[in-house]
Amino acid sequence: LSQALVKEEIAAKEYLENLNKELALRTNVDTEAAWAYASNINDENEKKRNENAAELAKFLKEIAADTQKFNWRSYQSEDIKRQFKFLTKLGYAALSESDYKELLETLSSMESNYAKVKVCDFKDAKKCDLALEPEIEEIITKSRNPEELKYYWREFYDKAGTAVRPQFEKYIELNTKAAHLNNFTSGAEVWLDEYEDPTFEKQLEAIFAEIRPLYEQVHGYVRYRLRQHYGNEVVSEKGPLPMHLLGNMWAQQWSDIADIVSPFPDKPLVDVSAEMIKQGYNPLKMFQMGDDFFTSMNLTKLPKDFWDKSIIEKPTDGRDLICHASAWDFYLQDDVRIKQCTTVTQSQFFTVHHELGHIQYFLQYQHLPFVYRTGANPGFHEAVGDVLSLSVSTPKHLEKVGLLKNYKQDEEQRINNLFLTALDKIVFLPFAFTMDKYRWSLFRGEVDKSKWNCAFWKLREEYSGIEPPVVRTEKDFDAPAKYHVSADVEYLRYLVSFIIQFQFYKSACIKAGQYDPKNPELPLDNCDIYGSAAAGKAFQNMLSMGASKPWPDALQAFNGERTMTGKAIAEYFEPLRVWLEAENKKNKVPIGWTASDSK
């Protein structure tokens, strides 16, 4: 037997080599069709996309059946066993042909609904062509009129969420069916399986519990400052925060209201949006600067195809498209693209780096077999560009590139900056956790259908301490008003990313000689890794592994660690935590929140 097995393993190796090439080519065709649809939503493109997806699913099913003739679980090579294991994961392709077709139609119906939402102007009922990007987002971030904000909130949630309730029910049903066909108890376990660690959910709960007290301090302080700004009628002393006042449609990051909640209002806020416009920045320049950051660290330059094929500005020809920023790998050599309706703002500048992080990952692992051309886990893929954004957002870097002028960093200014970062990075954690806690509970059948909407707001209240501006009932259905829920994108990746990016950043800063815990002149929150070949090398070591090894091996290749921890993010925000706790105590600011009375 062992002689025969050795022989079979040699044949299996060759089988995999050919199969990986074939899979890359077929996935490329499928991705082209998906790209054509996402950048121009019409019936013909949708039909082509769905046909291509069905074609690929059929092929994957054939392969899964094919692999059963190999005794791969008994092979010697860990690598060959890992490749086979990946090939047996069928996902939705496990569904019958008719179920798969129905699932595709359900998903494209939700995603195109989200992309096509248009609402009427609050001030002019006859003007009804406002899209989320850019019009509604601009109002949500800039308006300080509670009635106007409430109006856009309701309009958007009704159209982006409630409208797709029937499709969402069908999606949950088919997702569950596919999970069972893949021998998982539910879709929640399918998603969690990507992290290759049965204790993963528990680990995240523990890390989240460590960071939660800091979130509660930020939350309490923001509520206290919003009361000063809007008055006690609009914001209660101890209740959840009215989410329409937080500068973001989903209240997932609150940095856009920094101007009214900043700890030291007399000190300038680091927001270079106006300066970018003044200096004639455009989307192209923003992407060129992102490219320059990667190459300064000796990482890979963006290839010609990227510039030729990407869509980095919203087309003006009136077509519908998915504006939600995304990075795409076409599984050939150097065919990588971004689709983003870029606007010239500081936060979009960070988004550019985030998306370019995905692209760098694609380029670093493109030499690997197809099954390994993905992140060590979904969170790693999201974290890469964010590490650079943390660096780009420092006063040190913004001064270097001439966007920040006459700036003096003192202790008050430092607290302002840390608070600004916390409004994005700390505030996001409970939001991200609830996006998947909610969907897990539906996948696992833990919530009765008659309580689906209520369960969503209960979770958002329990974890984030926020509430909708108007009473919601079971006649409403609000979760799909978030893009990733309508588009069936797992969200735990972002929670993992926001924790682990600080681990990466801290190590990169030490490697770059930019952070020394013993030297107050080199704090973590003003570390710029631009131009550091040492930090670049660490990235290359990790990114070039793709998914060829479990993620602790990839983390180890980066910095020698093997576990995800909340230590680095806590270290980064420690000066803010100390200041906030003292400040909240001094002002007798209530911490935590009572239950929402009406929502």
Q: What is the pLDDT along the chain (599 residues), one digit of tens a residue?
A: 689 999 999 999 999 999 999 999 999 999 999 999 999 999 999 999 999 999 999 999 999 999 999 999 999 999 999 999 999 999 999 999 999 999 999 999 999 999 999 999 999 999 999 999 999 999 999 999 999 999 999 999 999 999 999 999 999 999 999 999 999 999 999 999 999 999 999 999 999 999 999 999 999 999 999 999 999 999 999 999 999 999 999 999 999 999 999 999 999 999 999 999 999 999 999 999 999 999 999 999 999 999 999 999 999 999 999 999 999 999 999 999 999 999 999 999 999 999 999 999 999 999 999 999 999 999 999 999 999 999 999 999 999 999 999 999 999 999 999 999 999 999 999 999 999 999 999 999 999 999 999 999 999 999 999 999 999 999 999 999 999 999 999 999 999 999 999 999 999 999 999 999 999 999 999 999 999 999 999 999 999 999 999 999 999 999 999 999 999 999 999 999 999 999 999 999 999 999 986 55
Alpha-helix residue ranges (DSSP H) falling in 163-303: 165-181, 187-193, 200-230, 258-261, 273-278, 283-296
**Which among 8, 355, 461, 467 is annotated as catalytic?**
355
Q: Which of 509, 433, 524 is nearest to 215 (CA)?
A: 433
What is the Cα–Cα distance from 512 to 276, expressed in whole angstroms? Answer: 27
**Phi and psi (nearest 5°) for 120?**
-85, 155
pLDDT on residue 596 = 81
The rounded distance, in Å, linking the Cα atoms of 555 and 539 is: 10
Q: Among this protein's residues, is 324 annotated catalytic?
A: no
Cα 478 to Cα 61, 78, 157, 161, 462: the distances in Å are 35, 45, 6, 5, 16
- Which pTM was predicted? 0.98
**Residue 577 annotated as binding site:** no
Q: Which two tokens stand for residue 477?
A: 């259905």
**Any idea which residue has 């409970």 for tokens?**
430
Query: Is residue 358 annotated as involved in ligand binding?
Result: yes
Residue 355 known to be catalytic: yes
Sign for the pseudo-dihedral over CA of 70, 74, 80, 84: positive
Identified catalytic residue from 244, 324, 353, 484 = 484
DSSP 545: T
Whether 524 and 506 have beta carbons less than 8 Å apart is answered as: yes
Contact 247, 256 (CB under 8 A): yes
Please tell me the distance from the alpha carbon of residue 330 to that of residue 186, in angstroms, as a whole number.
30
CA angle in degrees (0–180, nearest 5) for 544-547-551 = 100
Buried b (16+ CB within 10 A) or exposed e, 402-441: ebbeeeebeeebbbbbbbbbbbbbbbbbbbbbbbbbbbbb
Residue 114 annotated in ligand binding: no
Q: Is 467 helix (H, G, I), strand (E, B) or coil?
A: strand
The single residue listed with the structure tokens 């576990």 is 563
Cα separation of 271 and 194, whole Å?
Answer: 37
450 burial level (CB within 10 Å; 0-12, 13-18, 19+): exposed
